[in-house]
């Protein structure tokens, strides 16, 4: 997959909170830090992300995108 963002990290999914439409995914990242991303439940299910998964974190401006490979 190609994309224009240059900022990439790898993190581990520690918690997923799902609402009716949106979800919040909490992550542990290197340097003993944490991040989180909010996106649709449809996207969460499409990506198949579950707690414990290792995901690529792509940061572009104000958007934080998760990529499961």
DSSP 37: E
pLDDT at residue 51, rounded to an integer: 97
Domain boundaries, the chain: 7-67
Helices (H), ranges, the chain: 41-47
Q: Which residues contact 28 (CB under 8 A, 6 or more apart)?
A: 11, 12, 14, 34
For residue 4, pLDDT beyond 90: no
Q: Are 11 and 51 in contact (CB under 8 A)?
A: no
pTM reported for the whole predicted model: 0.80
CATH fold, domain 7-67, is OB fold (Dihydrolipoamide Acetyltransferase, E2P) (2.40.50)
Asked if residues 65 and 6 have their Cβ atoms less than 8 Å apart, the reply is no
Q: What is the pLDDT of residue 5?
A: 76
pLDDT digits (tens, 9 = 90+) for 10-53: 999 999 999 999 999 999 998 889 999 999 999 999 999 999 99
Per-residue pLDDT at 19: 97
43 burial via Cβ count (<10 Å: 0-12, 13-18, 19+):
middle
Confidence of residue 7 (pLDDT cuts 50, 70, 90): confident
């Amino acid at each position: 997959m190609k994309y224009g963002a240059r900022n990439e990290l790898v993190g581990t999914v520690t918690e997923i909170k799902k609402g009716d439409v949106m979800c919040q995914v909490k992550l542990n990242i290197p340097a003993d830090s944490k991040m989180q991303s909010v996106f649709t439940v449809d996207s969460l299910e499409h990506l198949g992300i579950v707690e414990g998964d290792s995901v690529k974190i792509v940061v572009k401006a104000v958007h934080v995108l998760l990529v499961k490979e």
